[in-house]
């Protein structure tokens, strides 16, 4: 299996632009998570999907952030408009079953820089 696939790996954009991050979970996994990593706060959960349905989006910073999962093999995280403080590494992870099983498989991340 190819593991969790994320694209792009790096994104540099100007403040105010729309940014879309993409994730393909491991085939057969039915839970998907988006995390953000910063130096100050470490890894923070942004949103959790189970069977393509958003279960918990309490970690989404504000209305500028939105996430979708139109099918079991694809999810997007969109930031519109982007701001410099959104600069971080964004990880997608997937797992089997509902909720947080012991092993979440992480993708390589997307490093976002907003200038």
Binder of another protein out of 32, 107, 112, 114 (CB under 8 A): 107
- With H, G, I as helix, E, B as strand and everything else as coil, classify residue 86: helix
From residue 42 to residue 81, the character string flagging contacts with another protein as x (rule: CB under 8 A) and all else as - is xxxx--x------xx-------------------------
Q: Is 100 in the site for another protein (CB under 8 A)?
A: yes
Q: Is 25 in the site for another protein (CB under 8 A)?
A: no
What torsion do the CA atoms of 18, 64, 70, 21 make, to the nearest 10 degrees? 40
Binding site for another protein (CB under 8 A): 4, 9, 35, 37, 39-45, 48, 55-56, 91, 93, 98-100, 102-109
């Amino acid at each position: 299996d190819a593991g969790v696939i994320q694209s792009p790996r790096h994104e540099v954009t100007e403040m105010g632009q729309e940014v879309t991050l993409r994730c393909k979970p491991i085939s057969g996994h039915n839970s998907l998570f988006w995390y953000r990593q910063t130096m100050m706060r470490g890894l923070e959960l942004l949103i959790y999907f189970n069977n393509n349905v958003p279960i918990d989006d309490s970690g989404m910073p504000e209305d500028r952030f939105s996430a979708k999962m139109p099918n079991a093999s694809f999810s997007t995280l969109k930031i519109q408009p982007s701001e410099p403080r959104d600069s971080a590494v964004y990880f997608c992870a997937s797992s089997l079953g509902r909720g947080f099983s012991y092993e979440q498989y992480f993708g390589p991340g997307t490093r976002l820089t907003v200038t």
